[in-house]
Amino acid sequence: MLLTPHGGVLVRQYLEPEQVAEYQEQLPDFKKCILDEIEFSDLTLIANGAFSPLKGFNNQADYEGILKESRLASGWVWPLPIVLSVSPEKQAEQGYRCGDPIALVTPDGQFQGMMELEEIYRRDREREAIAIFGTADRKHPGVDYLFSKGEIALGGTIKAKPVQITQFPEYELTPLQTRAEFARWGWQSVVAFQTRNPIHRAHEYLQKVALESVDGLFIHPLVGFTKPGDIPAAVRMRCYQALLAGYYPAGRVLLAVFPAAMRYAGPKEAVFHALVRKNYGCSHFIVGRDHAGVGNYYGTYDAQNIFEQFSAAEIGITVLKYENTFYCKRCGNMASAKTCPHSGGDLLYLSGTKVREMLSDGLPLPAEFTRPEIAAILMEFYQSQPLPV
């Protein structure tokens, strides 16, 4: 039997078709809130149950609990605030009041859902930055986004129009759909792998080590908002498809997309990613080095150590913690410090920065780092980019 969703019940906050038609007809009469790309993806993932037990954007009690203890007011572990906020000017313009039904729309005015406005409170962005990201440095992409948002938070339950928001509709599966797929294949245990990068040999090694002891592997790349410089989702999907076609056993791997935004919150985001994959039906979750990190803001294994703050029962999903892996020339295979006695020039590591430099310069990537099919796709992409001015 697959794991119970976080909070005990898989949330479904969808409007019925007749409700969608009714609200769209009445749209001019409602106060509105315009969602940016990240808020739109949050709305979608609240509605489809990926963010269970959330049923809407955080109220103040949940917001405070997340900042202080990484918990909702109910006591359930939840490490990242999911907040809808506006500027004081927008609040004055719209005149939001508690009890108002608020139409949630895209920047071009397309209706996406409704929120019953339950609370209006102040978002303490400085305190939130320190609590969630461990820094208030605006060079951190998550912090920079946070300070771009208004300080007036709107909390309340949502209902959303059922939509697909990515360019990969055949891979955009809801938690209800992935659970059905796992059951159809007879998987009782499923290990999830989160990524925002192409899968290289070290990732492949971790996945296959985990796959030795579970029924199935769920490769679930994040395809929502990422920072400039990250490889586009369409390129990454080509890499995943090529890899699965040539190097993984049929019937033991499911590829689907996770339409969430990256927060780059390191340890806190690692816990968040684990809880969300529990909602998708997974029993295990891989956490490697510097999960969801950026720059030098987090220690190499901070994203693993944070799980010690919670009991296994509170998290629910089994976290698989792996050492940094590499290719050892003397061993002739992928390994880690736990399995390989060698050091120095025998070990091949390539940083993301070094890989980008090599590709931009037209230099081939070593086969020990990535499969040749993946290297070819990445080379094609990098060589197509305009030269820096």
Segment holding 41, helix H or strand E:
helix 37-47
Cα–Cα nearest to 266, from 244, 239, 299: 299
Contact 335, 325 (CB under 8 A): yes
What are the φ/ψ torsions at residue 246 (nearest 5 degrees)? -110, -15
Segment holding 103, helix H or strand E:
strand 101-105
Contact 215, 189 (CB under 8 A): yes
Q: DSSP states of 276-322 as a string?
A: HHHHTT-SEEEE-TTTT--TTSS-TTHHHHGGGGS-HHHH-SEEEE-
From the candidates 196, 201, 236, 371, give the one annotated as an active-site residue: 196
Cα–Cα nearest to 263, from 236, 234, 237, 225: 225
Residue 123 annotated as catalytic: no
Compute the distance between CA of residue 170 and CA of residue 325 in angstroms, rounded to an integer. 32
From the candidates 71, 197, 289, 324, give the one annotated as an active-site residue: 197
Residue 196 annotated as catalytic: yes
Strand 253-255 with 216-221, pairing? parallel
Task: Give the residue numbers annotated as catalytic, written as ranges.
Answer: 196-197
